Structure 1
Amino acid sequence: MKSGEFFTLVRTWLTSYLPRSRRLSPHTIRSYKTALNTLLEFLAETRHLTLEQVGFDAVTYKSMSEFIAWLMDTRHLSATTANQRLAAIKSFLSYCAGEEPSLVAVWLDVKRVRPARTPEHAPDALSMAAVDALIRAPGQQTLQGLRDTTMILLLFDAAARIQEVLDLTLADVNTTPGSGQVTLTGKGRKTRTLPLMDKTGRHLEQYLDIFHPGTRDPGTLLFFTIRTSRHQPMSQDNVAYLLNKHAAIARNQCPEIPERIHAHQLRHSRAMQMLRAGVPLPHIKEFLGHANIATTSIYASADNQMVREAIQKASGTTPDLAPLWKGDDDLILRLAGLK
């Protein structure tokens, strides 16, 4: 299939199928677009193909297997990110196979490519002391400090993904004491409504009075920046910068705060706090908006590992147990039922 037909399918997939048929968010579509652009860079660098030469004949089991390795070895992406890129390519080819039957063989060939093995890491949750120090760091003496305090508190209280908070509108927030709640729109445009602590509700109400005074348009973004005298959406990079700026201040009071932090650590911290408070995993799963409880179970595994490490440290001075018996190997095997 010629290059023109390849890019025609790319255009219809990105501009029509994903937003209209799949109803995916702009953020997810940007991720898919990034995957395709990365594939084109791979083909240019390793196959020396210009855009005019790119076609489905370049997308094979062999080339996609090499693509995964290239992402991790040359681009130094994590296995998780590399797998996301591969999944996006497979999704594109699945669409192409539905549009053009001659491409079914291409899709089935690439579908056999296995994702890279990802090491299991415990969630890098912050301690409650670190969370408290981070929330207090911005202060509330300035408008920016009030805004940042409110955002950090909301990220933690709702265990929200960073984009979920940035997408919030005024209609999504209820600050009524005793029944405060926030409605988040997560992956796949799935919404979930979560209760808020009264403390968070009070901070939000104060924030709303100052940053959204008077008649409030329900569709207005809750958090924003001002550029050229106009309200503009905040970016994830904005939030990452603010978090690390305040973390540097909070570290003076709480040295255990790591050198670099990210918003997802607040989400991890909230999940671990709920787990230790006895909240069942299925409830935590719904709170976090996970599609599969296996994803949520990693918090229980992490908690067990922390307990195990604490026990090991506490038993460091405990003497080793004496052998149960002494005797020849044959006797030991017989007593153990192995002979």
Structure 2
Amino acid sequence: MNKLKKKRVKNPVTALSVGLEENLHKLGYAADTIWKQRRLLNDLLSWLAGQQMELSNLSEVQVNRFMGDRRAAGVRKLKTPKALGHILHHLRGLGLVPNPEALKELGPAGPILDQYRRFLRSERGLSGTTVDRYVDCLRPFLDARIQDSGLNLASLTSADVTSFVVAWCPSRNTGVAKLTLTALRSFLRFLHLDGVTERPLAPAVPSVLHRRLAGLPKGLERDQVRRLLAACDISSTDGVRDLAILTLLVRLGLRRSEVAKLGLDDIDWRAGTVCVHGKGNRHERLPLPADVGQSVAQYLRHARPTKAEGRMVFVRHIAPHRALSPSRVSTIVAETAQRAGLGRVHAHLLRHTAATELLRAGASLSEIGQLLRHRRAQTTAIYAKVDRTNLRLIARSWPEDAQ
């Protein structure tokens, strides 16, 4: 006997739900998802009425209470505050719900860290991820400066800085230690500029022992690059997008964040150039090779969602169609490399691949540095060791008969 299909309860249509439906439709959501969001909005309004509250009183605390009551009632889906994201955004846009309070650092070090965050963003032009990493690295140093009277930075001396580094860094790996010292130098410069310390203490931060040019940059061979690009299924929209991303990484040596930040207005099709948004908020224009431009144009014409948000080139193909994150760019590289049978491949390896391929083609180190947008020639010098043919010309023969 066939079971009767359960009839879906019709959501009451209100002015709020109609506006929400229109916004979700523009973002590319399916009808089923829009229906669930309308129902969740109606549940929220009913809960507020039961609590004798207005929308203007809906804070993060009340949102957590609402979701807690849903879980207690046995609701199995849409039971976390994240599910209310689009609804809250819609209601805030109408001015019915207050904006969330900006997160502030807690504890005695909170005020100075909030000022330092603003400094890094406005003066240094660092990304939010980099700012968070700097602040996290500074917490142990600031914790050591907290006394009964609060945070003491005015009496900070060079000896205090050196003592912290000597005690803290030896037990950390090289990467963590280097980032901690970089963040510490930046923070000490900020303290001096802000007048907290009378003397500049950044020079007191020692350096982590690091032998420059000790490593050897590794890139993919030409056959491996062909296999990587061939692993993209260009019969699907995802494959067309991924091929364009990989071509940019391999041919122009872009960083994953630079691919994620690439905007539609950054490409000058007539001039054949592309503007790259690099580190430190630097904008530099590079030539756009024909094969790279062709793969990007193919994606824009046939694969990029028509309801994509914003002006970023590469977006999610699942609603909401927002710009890809740098981590998603890395995931695309890793997943494609696995399909190609290349094992574990990081996005930065393709940057090395672009540099080594240029070197094989006869490009000079200065030309490679211009493509990779290195600030210092020493950074590019590591690729000199890849040119084994020319290195053999200057290498001294091994004395076979040495006594």
Greater RCO (CA < 8 Å, at least 6 residues apart): 1
**So what's the TM-score if we normalise by structure 1?**
0.74
Q: Structure 1 212/236 Cα, relative in aligned 2: closer, same or farther at 3 Å?
A: closer
- CA offsets 1:32-78 (integer angstroms, 9 cap, x no match): 3323223325776xx69799965437863111232322332xxxxxx
1:336 matched to which residue of 2? none
Q: Structure 1 214/63 Cα, relative in aligned 2: closer, same or farther at 3 Å?
A: closer
5+ long unaligned stretches in structure 2: 1-105
Residue identity matched to 2:280: G
- Hey, what's the Cα distance between the residues in 1 that align with 2:365 and 2:111? 45
Q: Which of 175, 178, 181 is the matching residue for 2:273?
A: 181
- CA offsets 1:69-124 (integer angstroms, 9 cap, x no match): 2332xxxxxx24421221112111111122225x245x52x632322122421112
Residue identity matched to 1:66: A
- CA offsets 1:222-272 (integer angstroms, 9 cap, x no match): 011155x32222222222222122112212xxxxx3x32111111111111
- CA offsets 1:11-36 (integer angstroms, 9 cap, x no match): 11212x222233x1324xx3233232
Residue identity matched to 1:68: C
**So what's the TM-score if we normalise by structure 2?**
0.63
2:170 matched to which residue of 1? 69
Question: What is the DSSP-based 3-state SS (H/G/I as helix, E as strand, rest coil) of the residue aligned with 1:95?
Answer: helix
Q: Which moved more, 1:188-197 or 1:270-279?
A: 188-197
Q: Structure 1 186/48 Cα, relative in aligned 2: closer, same or farther at 3 Å?
A: closer
Question: How large is the Cα RMSD of the aligned pairs?
Answer: 3.4
* Pairing of 1:161-176 with structure 2 (within 5 A): 161-175=255-269
1:128 matched to which residue of 2? 222
Question: What is the DSSP-based 3-state SS (H/G/I as helix, E as strand, rest coil) of the residue aligned with 2:274?
Answer: strand
Matched, 1:8 2:111: yes
Matched, 1:245 2:335: yes
Q: Which runs of 4+ in 1 moved over 4 A?
A: 3-6, 41-44, 47-55, 212-217, 305-308, 320-323
Q: Which moved more, 1:235-244 or 1:57-66?
A: 57-66
* Pairing of 1:1-339 with structure 2 (within 5 A): 6-15=109-118, 17-22=119-124, 24-27=125-128, 30-41=129-140, 55-56=152-153, 60-72=161-173, 79-101=174-196, 103-105=197-199, 107-108=200-201, 111-119=203-211, 120-175=214-269, 180-212=272-304, 220-226=311-317, 229-251=319-341, 257=342, 259-304=343-388, 321-322=400-401
- CA offsets 1:129-168 (integer angstroms, 9 cap, x no match): 1112111111201111111111101111111011011000
Question: What is the DSSP-based 3-state SS (H/G/I as helix, E as strand, rest coil) of the residue aligned with 2:321?
Answer: strand
* Cα displacement (A) at 1:192: 1.7
- Hey, what's the Cα distance between the residues in 2 that align with 1:115 and 1:124? 26
* Cα displacement (A) at 1:279: 1.3
Residue identity matched to 1:71: R
CA contact (8 A) 2:258 2:277 kept: yes
Question: What is the DSSP-based 3-state SS (H/G/I as helix, E as strand, rest coil) of the residue aligned with 1:192?
Answer: strand
5+ long unaligned stretches in structure 1: 73-78, 252-256, 327-339
Q: Structure 1 283/116 Cα, relative in aligned 2: closer, same or farther at 3 Å?
A: same
Q: Which moved more, 1:157-166 or 1:54-63?
A: 54-63
Amino-acid identity (%): 26
- Hey, what's the Cα distance between the residues in 2 that align with 1:51 and 1:155? 52
CA contact (8 A) 1:166 1:235 kept: yes
Residue identity matched to 1:26: S
Q: Structure 1 212/233 Cα, relative in aligned 2: closer, same or farther at 3 Å?
A: closer
- CA offsets 1:257-312 (integer angstroms, 9 cap, x no match): 3x32111111111111111211122121111110001101111123349965xx99
Q: Number of aligned residue pairs: give it.
A: 290
1:331 matched to which residue of 2? none
- Hey, what's the Cα distance between the residues in 1 that align with 2:148 and 2:254? 40
Q: Structure 1 50/152 Cα, relative in aligned 2: closer, same or farther at 3 Å?
A: farther
1:333 matched to which residue of 2? none
